[in-house]
Amino acid sequence: MKRVYLDNAATTPMLPEVVEVMVATMQSTFGNPSSTHAFGRSAKAVIENARKNIAKHLHCTTSEIVFTSGGTEADNFILKNAVNHLGVQHIITSPLEHHAVLHTVDFLAAKGTQISYVNTLNDGTIDYQHLEDLLSKSTQKTLISLMHVNNEIGTILDLPKVIALKQQYNALFHSDTVQSIGHFPLNLADINIDFITAAAHKFHGPKGIGFAFFRKGTGIHPEILGGEQERGSRAGTENTAAIVGMEKALSICVQHMEDDVAHLKNLKEYFISKFISKVPTAKFNGVSGDVHQSTHTVINIQFDKDLPMLLFQLDMKGIAVSGGSACQSGSNKGSHVLQSFLNDEAQQNTSLRVSFSKLTSKEEVDYFVEEIVGLV
């Protein structure tokens, strides 16, 4: 049976070069990076070299990069650090955010932090006028937390607009960049973001490793206590091989970004054209069907009816996608992102997220379209 992987927003396959360098590191550089002997010093040097290269790709300093177990920990780290140590009393976020942000702000709200949610428009984008209204009325030290690229519908945040507002109202700005690191160029020397987050497995690196960026001068205080790893910012013995794998994956993505983006934009346009010609009753949620307004890696499709078995049927044909309607049959736990902007009728329909990577081919798109026609 043919197997087609179209769930790259969930995780991406590791590149062979990444696997190779990780295996070599595990075999040759196994010392504890905190040890002072040669084995430990060798591991420490490898980690710091990876940090240097990651910082170079992002145009920041090595002291601003803290390695974490992934994007979820990094988001938790930044939000809790802002409230517990930076004097933030008000967080402005949106209902479109990843649960790593939403559940963390719920936790902080229970402890007294004021939380405000920016309205979303009917195309799944942020209401920037409402964001400005919230900032203008805030009387407390405020942190804006808005993701750069949405993992479900592919919406791209207008970073310059949010940065201009954060500067106008003297707020801090955290952006969950898990879906954009390795896919979009980010020059942190040119854009005034205070905090960003990354997860290696979203750009063909290993799972269980990521990083948080803390702008110099904002202050980093550990949320995980123990040893003095990560310059005292994050306790726990470093995963040397995973850090090396993450750096290798990011370096490859940055090196080939221009060609990869061109391939993915072409692939997305091809998918949209072919899919609509075969399933004309379907539509795209938010702006995910517009290659100029959404990321080149994500399309979110809404069918004109409830198809509760569709994911299972596609899986049986070897096709991996994700989704489900905003209100799934027999469950009230649908997509919180779709619920935030779709009307009640649309929420009853089945939605699928199809997400590409640099490794996705037109032949795989063809197979998906051919097979889904018989199911809808």
Just list the catalytic residues: 327
Instruction: Give me the sheet containing 322-323, strands edge to edge.
Output: 283-284, 298-302, 351-355, 322-323
SS3 16: helix
DSSP structure class, residue 289: T
- How far apart are the C-alpha atoms of 92 and 291, rounded to whole Å? 28
Helix (H) or strand (E) holding 76: helix 71-85
Show the tokens assigned to 331: 């469950």
- How far apart are the C-alpha atoms of 233 and 195, rounded to whole Å? 15
Could you count the other beta carbons within 10 Å of the beta carbon of residue 329?
13
- How far apart are the C-alpha atoms of 179 and 156, rounded to whole Å? 10
Write the Ramachandran bin of 103: left for phi over 0, alpha for psi from -120 to 50, otherwise beta.
Answer: alpha
Show the tokens assigned to 122: 């009917």
Q: What is the residue type of 354?
A: V
Helix (H) or strand (E) holding 347: helix 344-347
- How far apart are the C-alpha atoms of 124 and 365, rounded to whole Å? 25
Q: How far is CA 105 from CA 81, 121, 176, 343, in A?
A: 12, 22, 14, 26
User: To 10 degrees, what angle do helices 240-255 and 38-58 make?
Assistant: 30
